[in-house]
A and B are shown apart, each in its own frame.
Chain A
Amino acid sequence: MSQPTSRLNQRQREEAISQQQSAQNTLEFAAAEEMLRHDAGQIPVPPTVAERLQKSVASEPAPPKSWWRRLLKS
Chain B
Amino acid sequence: MSALITETPVEPLPETSSPATSVQRAPLEPPELEAIYEEHSRPIFYLALRMLGDPTQAEDATHDVFLKAYRKLGEFKGNSSIRTWLYRITINHCQNLLQTWHRRNIHGTDDETFWERAVGPGDSPLRVLETKELGQRIQKSLDALPEGYRLLLLLVADEKLSYDEVGALTNQSSDAVRGKLHRARKTFAAAFHQTA
Contact = CB atoms under 8 A, between A and B. Distances in A.
Contacts of B7: 30-31
B174 to A, nearest CB: 15
Interface string A12-40: 00000000001001111111111111011
Given A35-B138, A40-B42, A53-B67, A63 B28 contact: yes
Contacts, number: 142
A53 B59 contact: no
Interface string B133-169: 0110010000000000000011011110000000000
B146 to A, nearest CB: 14
Nearest to B155: A33
Given A32-B153, A32-B188, A27 B3 contact: yes
A25 B138 contact: no
B26 A35 contact: no
Contact of A42 (B6, B59, B119): B119
B85 interface: no
Interface in A52-69: 52-54, 56-57, 60, 62-69
A70 to B, nearest CB: 9
B74 A35 contact: no
Interface residues of B, number: 57
B17 interface: no
A63 B27 contact: yes
Q: Is the interface of A mostly helix, strand, loop or mixed?
A: helix
Contacts of A26: 1-4
A35 B43 CA distance: 14
A34 to B, nearest CB: 7
Closest A-B pairs by Cβ, 5 of them: A36-B157, A66-B74, A32-B188, A63-B27, A33-B157
9 contacts: A29-B6, A32-B184, A45-B45, A46-B45, A49-B62, A56-B63, A64-B27, A67-B77, A68-B24
Interface of A: 22, 25-37, 39-40, 42-46, 48-50, 52-54, 56-57, 60, 62-69
Interface of B: 1-10, 24-28, 30, 33, 37, 41-43, 45-46, 49-50, 55, 59, 62-63, 66-67, 70-71, 73-75, 77, 114, 117-119, 130-131, 134-135, 138, 153-154, 156-159, 184-185, 188-189, 192
